Copies of this chain bind each other. A is one copy, B any other.
Amino acid sequence: MSFFGSRWVQAPAHATECDPTALPRGFRAAGVAAGLKQPEALDVGVLVSDCTDTVSAARFTTNARVGAPVIASREADLARLRAIVANSGGSNTGDGQRGLDTARATQALAAELLGVGPAQVGVASTGVIGTELPREPLLAGVRAAVGALGEDAEGLSRAILTSDRGPKRACLEVTLRSGTVTLSAQAKGGGMISPRFATMFCFVQTDAAMSAATLDLLTGVTVKRSFDRISVDGQLSTSDTVFALASGASGLWVAPESEDELRLGEAMDALLRQLALEIIHDGEGCKRVGRIVVRGGSELVESVARAIANSNLVKTALHGGDPNFGRILQAAGMVFPPGEGLIADLEIEGRLVVSAGEAALGELSELAPLVAREEVEYVLTLPGSGAETEVFFSDLSPEYVHFNAEYTT
């Protein structure tokens, strides 16, 4: 079965799937059990590029409240990262100077062991907010992981998991005009928007050669079309982190605004969108995934799409396969100026349900078979034209509540 399992992601042209745990040339990785979460569970991962010309790009949560690793990483040389240290079992958020010292000690130790500068190490932590991340076990984990570095991302992709059902990773071979490069990524979590207690991470690697500016552009565009477009519960994490590294080990140069940039960008776009959808599908208790597309002339398309994707009433109806489309209109109406009215068309799975603001359906039950599938698509058309957006969202299930009602205890 193809990695590109969602009908909302087109398998990229010029790309073929390979072993999902494979890494591009120039990269090594490992994951070890350092005792930060359950005994024997992998919880510290290290990724390193052995190529001195490696360029990198990064994106972080926009939450004003961020974890110490985000603070420390932001101060690093984000265009010249050579290594990433990531852990689960504690987000190292809200622990003050002690937490920041731990993040910096992690950078320093990894740098020393790997022969790079401390500013070339990105760090990322996930887990409970507001408790201490124990420094010594973490540093011991870094030593062990550096000692165990190997050619694949199996350990790394597992060491970053929290409540994920399983690892989320893929590797593609992308055919450029001049040859073939490899592109891989490992992700965790359930949202840009915090799934359950946690966070999303995505680490991307390629052996293509390019400028840091090109990688930053590709990362920015593809993150905006993937992890920026998903919501499990509307909760922005303190620790969301994307690191992309290009080792250049293939020797194939991707020039700005070239055909190859487009090919690599398409592959990276599909890769990140599918990983983002996997994060949604992996949301605690998730049974169905929705896609809301909002079109119109209004600058409100973004806030309308978010209001629908984050509505507990829309999400519970999605969970139950309940054709309660009135909730879509209610949620959309929340973000319009009062008294303005809401004249919209709503299609569900291609079926016109609301026309010019009024129900266009005989019986709700006609909708039932359309909303009982694993992926459900809603298209809301507001007056005007020129703007369009989409948000992918999970349903809201009793399991989500059970899980989150008892997380720290």
Give me the interface of A with B, judged by CB distance under 8 Å: 61-66, 91, 93-96, 128-131, 194, 196-197, 233-238, 310-313, 316-317, 319-327, 329-342, 354, 357-359, 361, 364-365, 368, 396-398, 400-409
Contact = CB atoms under 8 A, between A and B. Distances in A.
A333 B197 contact: no
A364 B330 CA distance: 39
A405 B65 CA distance: 33
Contacts of A407: 317, 320, 322, 324
The 4 closest A-B pairs by CB, nearest first: A129-B326, A320-B405, A65-B333, A64-B336
Nearest to A326: B129
A233 to B, nearest CB: 4
A235 B311 contact: yes
B322 A406 contact: yes
Contacts of A361: 130
Contact of A64 (B94, B236, B323, B337): B337
B354 A404 contact: no
B316 A405 contact: yes
A317 B129 contact: no
A294 B341 CA distance: 32
B64 A341 contact: yes
Q: Which of A61, A235, A310, A340 has the most CB of B within 10 A?
A: A235
Contacts of A65: 329-330, 332-333, 336, 341-342
Contact of A406 (B197, B320, B332): B320
Contacts of A128: 324, 326, 364
A377 B335 CA distance: 29
B401 A396 contact: yes
Nearest to A98: B358
Nearest to A332: B65
B235 A404 contact: no
Contacts of A336: 63-65
19 contacts: A63-B333, A64-B334, A64-B337, A65-B336, A93-B329, A94-B359, A95-B359, A128-B326, A129-B329, A130-B329, A130-B359, A194-B330, A238-B329, A312-B404, A317-B404, A320-B406, A324-B408, A364-B409, A398-B401
A37 to B, nearest CB: 16
A220 to B, nearest CB: 15
Contacts of A322: 404-409
Contacts of A63: 330, 333-334, 336, 338
A341 B63 CA distance: 9
B96 A358 contact: yes
Contacts of A332: 64-65
Contacts of A397: 401, 405
Contacts of A316: 400-401, 403-405
A323 B197 contact: no
Contacts of A325: 130
